[in-house]
Each structure stands twice: as C-alpha cells, then as structure tokens.
Amino acid sequence: MKRLIKTTIAAAATFVAAAAFAAPATAAENIHIIVVSHGQANDPFWSVVKNGVVAGAKDMGVAVDYRAPETFDMVAMSQLIDAAVNQKPSGLIVSIPDASALSPSIKKAVAAGIPVISMNSGSDVSKSLGALLHVGQDEETAGKAAGERLKEMGGKVALCVNQEVGNVALDLRCKGFTEGFGGKVTVLPVSNEPAEGRAKVKAALASNGDVGIWHETYLIRAGDYESVYNNMPAFGLGIAGRLVPAQGRKSSAKGRLGMADNDDQRPG
C-alpha cells in the first residue's frame, strides 16, 4: 500500500507538471496536492494509506495535505472536496466510495482544470467522472476471485462482511464474491469498530447451523489433546471421546491443559 500511494502521488505530480493550459513546468516545491479519502483515522488500513501519502510527498518533494471525514459520511466528504477545489491545488486525489454523492464535487474539480486521480474505490466510475487515472483494483473482479477460491477450498456457506455500509465498492466486492462462490452467501453489515464487528460475526455464526468452529490442539505426549466445538455437532476427535462444557477453568486453553494463566508451558 505504501508503494501504491507513492505511485499515486508521483502520477499526480507528473500530470500537474505536464498540464493543461500549456503552462511551463512547475517546480516540485510549488506543487500542492490535496488527498481526500473516505477512511476514518481510527481505521488501521487508512492509517497505512496516510503514511504512504506522507512518504510519497517526501519522495517527490511536493506539498501534500491528507483530509478525511471523522466518520463514513459522504456529505462531509463532498464538502472536503469542495473546500479543496476552492484552494486551487495543483492536483487532487480522491477515493470514490459513492459516485452519486461525490460526482458533483469531483466534476467541479475537473471543470476547474484541476488534475484528478482516484484511488482505492471507484474504478468503475473514475473515467466517467473525468479522473485522469485510477489506482486500485476492480472490486467486483476481486470479490469474484475470493469467492472462487473459497469454493475451491470446499466452502458451502459464507458470510461477506461489509464494514462500511454505503460504500459501493464493498457492495461490488460482495456481489462478485457471491457470483464466484456460487453457494449460499449472507452479506453481514457491521461498522469499522473491531469489537462490534467481532460481536456481530459471532452472533451470525451462532444464529444457525450453517457455520461452526472446529479447533483441535495437539501436544507432543500421547493423549494430550483437545477438541473445541462451537455451534456444531461433534466431529474429528470429539466423536471418540466424551464432550463436556467449556466452563470455569475449562473456558481457556491453559486451564483445560492444567496450566496457570502466567505459565508459558505445561509442567512436566
């Protein structure tokens, strides 16, 4: 991702230096690029993107401002793009999670003669909005590849977790995933808050018998083993023995193996 964002900024600078109006080449120190993404600061993915923007700006010797709304908010994002256009930057880089909401602002930038590049989301609409190029993947194709892979691995039922409801790119990924998988797929909307996402995924898995968790731990000595079953019938080693609830000390792997919480290995 770091290299990807560096490439994005390098491309923006190149287009600015060559640009419109047959202007003389612009010195790098006079280039000011604004990046507006839909990613929130608390999302680790977008933290990496922002770091890449900063690193790319340093490599190219240009000034770059990175801006994003505090939450996934297309009204706020369009306002950020409008504000950027009013500053008349040398170039503008945007993500396009919702073209219908953002297209007026992006077209305004293009009409003002500002070179625009899209990144991450929006590969399907980038060109039609006037962007010079898009840096990213085709979302539906990527989702289809993931679905096909899971099918090859023997999957029969799947969840497609969408952590940004309203992001058309994620809708396209789940659409492609469903097509490639060919089996039963449930799209599960969650937020980008990890704790909430885990809770909703866990609840979805527990709500029916389609998906279960099978975990087995093996130690070197014969007979030292366990099987853990969550929302599924006995399977594997569990068929050969007697199943007991994982409660009390048995609720943790160390407790089930007779270890204290601060022990690193089982005594001998």
268 in a domain, yes or no?
no
User: pTM for this structure?
Assistant: 0.65
Last residue of a domain, one of 135, 155, 184: 135
On whether both 198 and 156 belong to a single domain, the answer is yes
CATH code of the domain containing 198: 3.40.50.2300
117 in a domain, yes or no?
yes
On whether both 196 and 218 belong to a single domain, the answer is no
On whether both 19 and 106 belong to a single domain, the answer is yes
Last residue of a domain, one of 79, 107, 135: 135
249 in a domain, yes or no?
yes
Average pLDDT over residues 148-165: 88
Write out pLDDT tens, residues 22-46.
344 556 668 899 999 998 767 788 8
DSSP 139-192: HHHHHHHHHHHHHHTT--EEEEEESSTT-HHHHHHHHHHHHHH-SEEEEEE--S
Q: Which residues of 107-142 are buried (b: 16+ CB within 10 A; e: fewer)?
A: eebbeeebbbbbbbbbbbbbeebbbbebbbebbbeb
Q: Which of 145, 116, 125 is nearest to 11 (CA)?
A: 116
Give pLDDT, residue 157.
87
Note whether 107 and 80 are within 8 A (CB): no
Which structural domain, as residue segments, surrounds residue 224? 213-256
Higher per-residue pLDDT: 180 or 208: 180
On whether both 68 and 125 belong to a single domain, the answer is yes
